[in-house]
């Protein structure tokens, strides 16, 4: 059980981090986040020993929602289309919430939330379905998908460019 003031400080930190990261991106100053939350930097480090543990907490609900979408899409689209649609949604998140792309692949987790396992479970269902339907190469792995989408999100200037690069990747650069 957390002491009441600690609980309140933690909540303030997450709220402040959400705001500051939205404004300045995932490399935002930790001291600035602590300042905005009205606590000292030591308090931030006590609750979140690494920057990643803070980012994971901030992005957690968004990542869970995205993983839930995998099931929705699988239920209402043919397997190949479901995978394609989900990858575009993943890309949209990675481009919009800069830093979420790197966060989603983190393998060691604090706060009992194994982000990469959740993401892998969501993606592998879609990937297996699309593979069995003959829509995608059988040798594709979940890591291939995540790294390709992550790379595109980092290199593309905006979502329009990102969607084009993802489409090119899906279809291949070679002539049909």
Residue with smaller CB distance to DNA, 55 or 118: 55
Report how far residue 123's alpha carbon sits from residue 106's, in angstroms, rounded to the nearest whole number: 15
Report how far residue 176's alpha carbon sits from residue 172's, in angstroms, rounded to the nearest whole number: 8
Question: Within a 13 Å sphere around the CA of 146, how many CA atoms are in the beta-carbon half?
Answer: 20
For the window 101-130, what string marks contact with DNA as x by the rule CB under 7 A? ------------------------------
Dihedrals phi, psi of 99, to nearest 5 degrees:
105, -30
Binding piece for a copy of itself, criterion CB under 8 A, among 17-25, 37-45, 117-125, 168-176: 168-176
**Using CB under 8 A, which residues numbered 25 to 84 contact a copy of itself?**
80
Binding piece for a copy of itself, criterion CB under 8 A, among 32-40, 42-50, 51-59, 133-141: 133-141
How many beta carbons lie within 10 A of that of residue 26, not counting itself? Answer: 18
* Those residues with Cβ within 8 angstroms of residue 29's Cβ, 6 or more apart along the chain or in another chain: 20
Rule CB under 8 A: is residue 152 a binding residue for a copy of itself? yes
The residue ranges that bind DNA (CB under 7 A) are: 2-3, 5-6, 9, 27-32, 39-43, 45-46, 51
């Amino acid at each position: 059980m957390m002491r009441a003031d600690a609980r309140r400080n933690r909540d303030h930190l997450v709220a402040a981090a959400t705001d500051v990261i939205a404004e300045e991106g995932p490399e935002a100053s930790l001291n600035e986040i602590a300042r905005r939350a009205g606590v000292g930097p030591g308090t931030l480090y006590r609750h979140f020993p690494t920057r990643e543990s803070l980012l994971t907490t901030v992005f957690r609900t968004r990542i869970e929602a995205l993983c839930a979408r995998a099931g929705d899409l699988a239920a209402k689209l043919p397997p190949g289309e479901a995978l394609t649609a989900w990858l575009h949604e993943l890309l949209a998140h990675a481009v919009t919430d800069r830093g979420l792309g790197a966060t989603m692949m983190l393998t060691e987790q604090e706060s009992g939330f194994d982000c990469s396992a959740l993401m892998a479970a969501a993606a592998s269902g879609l990937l297996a379905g699309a593979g069995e339907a003959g829509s995608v190469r059988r040798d594709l792995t979940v890591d291939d998908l995540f790294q390709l989408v992550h790379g595109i999100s980092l290199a593309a200037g905006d979502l329009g460019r990102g969607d084009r690069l993802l489409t090119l990747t899906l279809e291949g650069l070679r002539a049909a």
